[in-house]
Amino acid sequence: MQYVSTRDKSKPCSASQAILQGLAPDGGLFVPTELPRLTPELLDHLKDMSYPRRAAAVMKLFLDEFTEEELLTYCEAAYGPDRFDTPAVVPLHPMADNTRCLELWHGPTCAFKDLALQMLPHLLAASIRKQKEDRTVCILVATSGDTGKAALEGFRDVDGTKILVFYPRDGVSDVQKLQMITQTGGNVGVCAVNGNFDDTQNGVKRIFSDADFRKVLDGKGLRLSSANSINWGRVLPQIVYYISAWCDLYRDGVIEPGQAVNICVPTGNFGNILAACYAGQMGLPVKRLICASNANNVLTDFLRTGVYDRNRPFHMTTSPSMDILISSNLERLLFLVSGQDDALVRSCMKQLTETGRYEIPAALREKIAGLFWGGFCDDTKTAAAIGKVWTEQNYLIDTHTAVGVDVLSQYRADTGDSDICILASTASPFKFSDSVLRALGDKTPPAGLDAIDELGRRTGVQGPAPLCGLRGRAVRFTDCVEPDGMYPPVSAMA
Ligand SMILES: *Cc1c(COP(=O)(O)O)cnc(C)c1O
C-alpha cells in the first residue's frame, strides 16, 4: 500500500517512510492512496478475536511491509495488562437511550491518546529498521499537558528511541505536571520552560529546523523525530477501536450482521473522528458521524456552512483538550471526500495560512453533510450532562465525553434518529476531577491530587491507579530552562 501527501499525490512512498517522516515535505499529511475493504467475512473473523489480535489484523491491511506476527508482538506489548487496566482494552459501557460509551481511557495516562501513543513507538522503531536507519530516534515533544505524558509512557524503554518532553512551567495543571515529572524509564527526559505553550512549541520547532544541530546529532548516531498528532502512525491505531467496538456489539448480539451504527466523537484536532470516518469508508457499517465541539465551534460551523473560519475568539473551556481553532486532520477529510483532489487541498490550506479562512465547493459540502452532523455545547450544558448522567445512570463521565453526550441528544432531537450510537469517551472523569466535582454541585472543590481523592470519596467510584498512585511518586525532573536555552546537550541524548 502506498501513501501520498494530501497536497501533492504525485510522489508516493511506503508506510514506513510516511511514519518516519511524520509530515510530508510539502507540509501536507500522509494518507493511503486507497482504503482496504472490511468485508462481512473479515468482520466475522475479527469478532472472535482479542483486542491486540484485532489491532494487528486491521493494521496489517495498511502496512504491507510489516508481517502480521510482527504487528501482533507490538500490539500485545502496547495493549498488554501492564499498560491497560482491562483485558477488553476499550470496553463498551451500556448507557441509556441506545448509547454505548466506548471507554478509551483505560491506558497509562487515562485518556484516548494512549491507544495511538502506545502503538506509535513500535511502528516508528520498526520503520527505522525497515528504512535501514541505524540512528537512535530522539523524539522531541512540546506539550500543553496530555500529549506529553502519553508520549512519555508510549516511548518509555522502547529500544532505539529516546524522548524529551518540554512543558510550559505554569501552563499545565498540577496533576499533568506531576504525571510528567515523576515519569519512569531509562530513555526519558522532561524539562519545564520558563514561558507559555507558544514559547515552548516555538523552541521545539527551532530545534527541528536547525540543520547544523541535526548534523551534530547525525555524527552521534541520533535522528530527531516527532510524535505529533498528524503522524499516520497515530491515526491508524485509532481506526482499530471503532471497528473493534462494532465487532463487540455484533459478537454480543446487540446488532445484526451488517447493521449500521452512529458514532459520536468529542472533537478538537479532528483526528479521532477522522479515524471513525476511515473505518466507515473501509466498509464498517456506519450511518452518521456526530462531531461534538465545545464553545470553540469552528467545526460545527464548517459542517453546516462549508466555510472554515478560524478568525474568532478563542475560548478556554472545561474541556481543554478540545480548545482548538485549527483542526489539522480536517485536511485528510478534504482529500478523501474530494476524490483525492490535491490541488483543492493545497488551495484551501494556503488560504487558511494566509487569511485563516476557506470555503469548500457546495458539492463537497453536501457530500460531507451526508457523512457528518456537527453540534456544540457550552460549559454550562457540559456540566449539566455530567450531573444528569450521574444522577440518572450512576455513571461518571468527564467533561469531554459530556460534550459528546449533549451533542448526541441534540442530534437525536434534531433528526429523530435514535439508532444505536457508539459514543467515544475520551478521558477518565478523574483526569478532570475539579470540573467534574463542580458539575456534581461542589462549589469549592479542592485542587490537584486532592480533587481526585474527593471525587472518589463523593461518588464511591474508584479512581484509576495511574492517577491515584501519583501521590508519593518520586520527582525525577526539576530542570527549568529559558525559551532560548532549550537545546539539549548532545552528550545527554547519546
Ligand atoms: C485530544 C483530546 C480530544 C480531541 O481529540 P482530537 O483527535 O484532537 O479530535 C478530546 N478529548 C480528550 C480528552 C483529548 O485528550
- For 301, the grid coordinates are 460551523
Residue 494 is predicted with a pLDDT of 66
- List all residues 6 or more positions away from 41 whose beta carbon is below 8 Å from its beta carbon: none
The closest of 279, 189, 295 to 238, measured between CA atoms, is 279
Mean pLDDT, to the nearest integer, of 255-274? 96
Verdict on whether the full-model pTM lies above 0.85: yes
Residue 10 domain flag: no
**Residue nearest atom 4 of ligand 1, based on CA coordinates:** 268
Residue 286 domain flag: yes
Beta-strand ranges (E) seen in 134-179 are: 136-142, 161-168
Cα of 269 from ligand 1 centre, angstroms: 7
Residue 197 is predicted with a pLDDT of 81
Cα of 423 from ligand 1 centre, angstroms: 13
Residue 290 domain flag: yes
Query: Phi-psi region for residue 466, left (φ > 0), alpha (ψ -120 to 50) or beta?
Result: alpha
Residue 156 is predicted with a pLDDT of 92
Cα of 270 from ligand 1 centre, angstroms: 8
Mean pLDDT, to the nearest integer, of 175-191? 94
pLDDT tens string 403-456: 999 999 999 999 999 999 999 999 999 999 999 999 999 999 999 899 999 999
pLDDT tens string 72-119: 999 999 999 999 999 999 999 999 889 999 999 999 999 999 999 999
Residue 411 is predicted with a pLDDT of 98
Residue 250 domain flag: yes
Domain boundaries, position 349: 77-109+233-435
CB of residue 269 inside a 6 A radius of ligand 1:
yes
**Residue nearest atom 1 of ligand 1, based on CA coordinates:** 321
Residue 23 is predicted with a pLDDT of 85
pLDDT tens string 298-338: 999 999 999 999 999 989 899 998 988 888 899 999 999 99
Residue 97 is predicted with a pLDDT of 80
Asked whether the predicted pLDDT for residue 61 surpasses 90, the reply is yes
pLDDT tens string 37-52: 999 999 999 999 999 9
- DSSP three-state, residue 232: helix
Mean pLDDT, to the nearest integer, of 220-246? 92
- DSSP three-state, residue 202: helix
The closest of 5, 111, 43 to 428, measured between CA atoms, is 111
**Candidate of 104, 105, 269 to mutate for ligand 1, largest count of ligand atoms within 8 Å of Cβ:** 269
Buried b (16+ CB within 10 A) or exposed e, 249-261: bbeeebbeeeeeb
- For 199, the grid coordinates are 514559547
Residue 423 is predicted with a pLDDT of 98
Residue 202 is predicted with a pLDDT of 82
- For 264, the grid coordinates are 459520536
Q: Assign residue 323 the CATH number of its domain.
A: 3.40.50.1100
pLDDT tens string 334-353: 999 999 999 999 999 999 99
Look at 206-220, 234-248, 252-266 and tell me which has the smallest mean pLDDT: 206-220
Average per-residue pLDDT for the chain:
94
Asked whether the predicted pLDDT for residue 159 surpasses 90, the reply is no
Residue 329 domain flag: yes
**Candidate of 29, 113, 426 to mutate for ligand 1, largest count of ligand atoms within 8 Å of Cβ:** 426
Residue 89 is predicted with a pLDDT of 98
CB of residue 145 inside a 6 A radius of ligand 1:
no
- For 474, the grid coordinates are 518520586
Cα of 286 from ligand 1 centre, angstroms: 21
Asked whether the predicted pLDDT for residue 133 surpasses 90, the reply is no
List the catalytic residues: 113
Residue 400 domain flag: yes
Buried b (16+ CB within 10 A) or exposed e, 41-77: ebbeebbebbbbbbbbbbbbbbbeebeeeebbebbbb
Mean pLDDT, to the nearest integer, of 183-212? 89
Q: How far apart are CA 79 and CA 74, in angstroms?
A: 8
CB of residue 399 inside a 6 A radius of ligand 1:
no
CB of residue 228 inside a 6 A radius of ligand 1:
no
Cα of 11 from ligand 1 centre, angstroms: 31
CB of residue 268 inside a 6 A radius of ligand 1:
yes
pLDDT tens string 482-494: 999 999 877 777 6
Number of structural domains (the chain) is 1
Q: Given strand 222-225, what is the order of strands in its sheet?
A: 222-225, 136-142, 161-168, 188-193, 480-481
Mean pLDDT, to the nearest integer, of 172-186? 91
Mean pLDDT, to the nearest integer, of 162-190? 92
Mean pLDDT, to the nearest integer, of 129-149? 87
Mean pLDDT, to the nearest integer, of 149-170? 91
- Residue 237 binned pLDDT confidence (cut-offs 50, 70, 90): very high
Residue 20 is predicted with a pLDDT of 87
Cα of 319 from ligand 1 centre, angstroms: 9
Asked whether the predicted pLDDT for residue 220 surpasses 80, the reply is yes
Q: How far apart are CA 326 and CA 310, in angstroms?
A: 7
- Residue 171 binned pLDDT confidence (cut-offs 50, 70, 90): confident
Residue 420 is predicted with a pLDDT of 98
Ligand 1 atom nearest to 400, measured from its CA: 11
Residue 259 domain flag: yes
Residue 131 domain flag: no
CB of residue 291 inside a 6 A radius of ligand 1:
no
H or E element that contains 114: helix 113-117
Mean pLDDT, to the nearest integer, of 273-296? 98
